[in-house]
């Protein structure tokens, strides 16, 4: 897997991703502390609103920005997005009102909603070989999982010697470092395309999803992943400290089990995908997630016993592993169903549609859990996930990919069957 880093361009972009992820992790910790300084006991409302704004930006802004910036060189677009994120992070220590946080978070997440799908769409062109691309996807999954473990630990260590305001400096350094690495990367040349109306550019990614068998199934699998992720992200702390009465360190331990499951699968998948197609791998993950949530129902509905904690660790490990089975290969489907002209739009559509699922599942996990108990939240999410998993299996009946759109075409390049 590490051999893919011998590609100099990919190695620089992967390093940019890792540095930016660490900076984002520090920002998450610092933002919570800033919210507490400003709002005191209402800090949860401020953070919750900021996370909602983040999801709105991801869902609404990503396809819009990709459509608006379609003719801008991707290297310049990535650099501009990183610079914008750095400027916002630089401004956050100086805010004094909650509404200022909301405005800055919207700007920051809008920049991220531009950066991430553009970044993801460049990688297949830098790594055209599918085996290398698969290993790059696994490395990317590992980077996300490791960031969720390393960033809180790094933030905690830094907070022993500096104030939380200085964590924002680490975030700025991360984004500037990412921009510098992008500047140092040699990108494939952008080929000119015929002009396309704005509305067609805006809806191009969604149209590819609707006409492609695998991507219609991926739509349903996004919702399956959203159900389990919501249960883990929203309710782990409530489960560990509220229902089980265990110490704060066990919250991190249970989340680490989830991340460990994901990382193990990310390490194993390149060899698996060398011999198996994506369909059985991804659908196995999609079917496993609702089963894992049913197990969570059983563990949260019965009285706490000596076996509850180790069984929860195993359950969260399985949920993380099944999530990675779905997410890691998904970009291979996006790559195969797109071409150079529509690839950024297709990745932006996946970015937007997958985060739209969280806007459904996060409120269910929080509201149902707080009102009727964690077992009810797990049961509701399991039912929703099971329906989505059935839809994914039914949708993916064949392995055909989308037919190319009739446009846009490269300038000077004839369409299939057309003479020069």
- Residues 55 and 78: their CA atoms lie apart, in Å, by 20
Q: pLDDT tens, 18-53?
A: 999 888 888 877 887 888 788 776 666 777 678 788
Could you tell me which residues come within 8 angstroms of residue 143 by beta carbon, excluding any fewer than 6 positions away? 14, 17, 18, 21
> What is the per-residue pLDDT for 199?
59
26 near 92, Cβ under 8 Å? no
Residue 281 confidence (pLDDT):
96
Domains of the chain by range and CATH?
Answer: 1-186 (1.20.1250.20), 204-396 (1.20.1250.20)
Distance CA 129, CA 110 (A): 31
- pLDDT at position 44 is 63
pLDDT tens, residue by residue, 197-234: 665 777 888 889 988 999 999 999 999 999 999 999 88
According to the model, what pLDDT value does residue 177 have?
95
pLDDT of residue 410: 44
Q: Which stretches of the chain drop beneath a pLDDT of 70?
A: 1, 41-44, 48, 190-199, 398-420
How far apart (Å, rounded) are the C-alpha atoms in residues 115 and 196?
Answer: 22
Judge residue 406's burial from the number of C-beta atoms within 10 Å of its C-beta, 0-12 exposed, 13-18 middle, 19 or more buried: exposed
Instruction: Return the pLDDT at 357.
Output: 93
Q: What is the pLDDT of residue 84?
A: 96
pLDDT of residue 264: 93
| Residue 165 falls in which region: left (phi positive, over 0), alpha (psi -120 to 50) or beta | alpha
Would the pTM count as exceeding 0.85? Answer: no
């Amino acid at each position: 897997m590490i051999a893919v880093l011998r590609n100099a361009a990919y190695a620089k972009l992967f390093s940019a991703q890792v540095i930016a992820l660490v900076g984002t992790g520090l920002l998450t910790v610092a933002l919570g502390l800033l919210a507490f300084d400003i709002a005191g006991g209402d800090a949860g409302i401020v953070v919750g609103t900021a996370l909602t704004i983040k999801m709105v930006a991801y869902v609404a802004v990503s396809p819009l920005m990709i459509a608006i910036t379609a003719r801008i060189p991707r290297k310049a677009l990535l650099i501009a997005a990183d610079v914008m994120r750095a400027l916002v992070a630089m401004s956050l220590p100086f805010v004094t009102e909650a509404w200022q946080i909301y405005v800055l978070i919207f700007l920051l997440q809008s920049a991220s909603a531009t950066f991430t799908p553009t970044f993801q769409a460049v990688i297949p062109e830098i790594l055209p070989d599918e085996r290398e691309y698969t290993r790059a996807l696994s490395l990317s999954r590992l980077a996300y999982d490791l960031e969720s473990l390393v960033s809180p630990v790094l933030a905690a260590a830094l907070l022993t010697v500096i104030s939380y305001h200085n964590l924002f400096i680490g975030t700025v350094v991360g984004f500037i470092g990412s921009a510098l690495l992008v500047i140092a990367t040699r990108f494939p040349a952008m080929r000119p395309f015929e002009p396309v109306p704005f509305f067609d550019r805006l809806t191009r990614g969604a149209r590819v999803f609707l006409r492609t068998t695998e991507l219609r199934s991926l739509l349903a699998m996004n919702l399956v992943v959203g159900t389990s992720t919501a249960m883990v992200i929203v309710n782990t702390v409530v489960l560990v400290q509220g229902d089980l009465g265990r110490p704060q360190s066990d919250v991190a331990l249970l989340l680490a089990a989830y991340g460990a499951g994901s990382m193990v699968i990310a390490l194993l998948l390149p060899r698996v995908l060398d011999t198996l197609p994506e369909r059985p791998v991804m659908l196995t993950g999609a079917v496993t997630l609702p089963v894992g949530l049913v197990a969570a129902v059983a563990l949260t509905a019965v009285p706490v016993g000596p076996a509850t904690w180790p069984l929860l660790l195993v359950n969260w490990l399985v949920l993380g592993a099944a999530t990675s089975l779905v997410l890691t290969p998904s970009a291979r489907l996006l790559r195969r169903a797109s071409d150079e002209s529509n690839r950024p739009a297709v990745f932006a559509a996946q970015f937007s549609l997958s985060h739209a699922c969280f806007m459904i599942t996060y409120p269910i996990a929080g509201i149902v859990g707080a009102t009727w108990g964690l077992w009810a939240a797990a049961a509701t999410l399991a039912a929703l996930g099971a329906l989505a998993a059935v839809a994914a299996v039914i949708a993916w009946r064949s392995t055909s990919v989308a037919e190319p759109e009739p446009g846009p075409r490269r300038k000077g390049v004839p369409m299939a069957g057309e003479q020069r």
